[in-house]
Amino acid sequence: MPDPDGDLARLLTWLSPAFPVGGFSYSHGLEYAVEAGLVHDRETLRGWIASVLALGSGRTDAILLGAAWRAEQAEDDAVLAEVVAWGEAFRGTAELALESGAQGGAFLAAVRAVWPHPRLEAFARLLEAEHRAPTYPVAVGVACAASGIDERSALRAYVHAFCANLISAGVRLIPLGQTDGLRVLAALEDTVRGVCANISGLGLSDLGTATWMVDLCSARHETQYTRLFRS
């Protein structure tokens, strides 16, 4: 029997900043953007993150999460293997691949240890057979489907957490006060809702980004002299 309260509690746990995926150590190229002066105050941070959400990795992660959720819901391992491959391939730089892959692997390991499920073990065997690692949105999508958490809730929670993590990085880097960070989060509520609404029904053939500056900043971050973040 569905348990909406239980599903909500689990989502809050899985996508909490305290969940052991190391999200605090990644900035998604934002560290170099601050260094270069592209992001320097509350409004430029809001605009940068809005673009990432609507046109960059926020959108592609949402599509990948939905595709993984649907493949797992159908227990279609062939499609799920394809989603895993696209998740690995659709990263613009080495650091962005590290960011998503490391968090995906950590997320799956923690969920398997604390919330064991036969389908999660099947997913782990599939990854081993394919010699691939799960990216973060794919791991979340599979875990949510296996646990009976509906796709819409999983999607909203993931995109919101993605947004909040970038804001946290911006607050530390610019730096901004905590209240200004909350103002950015409030200003992005409609963007988060729009991303989730706009990707409804989209699949792997709809993957695509238009945030080349994010990729450029991520690539430049790889050789940045002083760094707080891994990406």
Structure tokens at 60: 């592609």
What are the tens digits of pLDDT across the range 20-75?
A: 999 999 999 999 999 999 999 999 999 999 999 999 999 999 999 999 999 999 99
- Residue 211, SS3? coil
Distance separating alpha carbons of residues 83 and 153, to the nearest angstrom: 20
Q: Does residue 26 sit within a domain?
A: no
Distance separating alpha carbons of residues 45 and 59, to the nearest angstrom: 18
User: Is residue 94 over pLDDT 90?
Assistant: yes
Q: Does residue 179 sit within a domain?
A: yes
Q: Does residue 214 sit within a domain?
A: yes
Distance separating alpha carbons of residues 7 and 115, to the nearest angstrom: 13
What are the tens digits of pLDDT across the range 194-221?
A: 999 999 889 999 999 999 999 999 999 9
Domain count for the chain, please give it. Answer: 1
133 Cβ neighbours under 8 A, 6+ residues apart: 88, 101, 104, 105, 127
Q: Does residue 146 sit within a domain?
A: yes
Q: Does residue 137 sit within a domain?
A: yes
- pLDDT given at position 4: 61
What value, to the nearest 5°, has the Cα angle with vertex 69 and ends 152 and 21?
90
User: Is residue 1 over pLDDT 90?
Assistant: no
Structure tokens at 212: 């080349």
Distance separating alpha carbons of residues 231 and 72, to the nearest angstrom: 30
Mean pLDDT of 89-95: 93
Q: Does residue 6 sit within a domain?
A: no
User: What CATH number did the domain enclosing 126 receive?
Assistant: 1.10.4190.10
Q: Does residue 13 sit within a domain?
A: no
Residue labelled with tokens 């103002």: 183
Q: Whose CA is closest to 80, among 70, 88, 90, 89?
A: 70
Q: How many residues does the chain have?
A: 231
Q: Does residue 5 sit within a domain?
A: no
Query: Would you give the distance in Å from CA 63 to the centre of its chain?
Result: 11
Number of H helices, E strands in the chain: 12, 0
Full domain range(s) for residue 118: 34-221
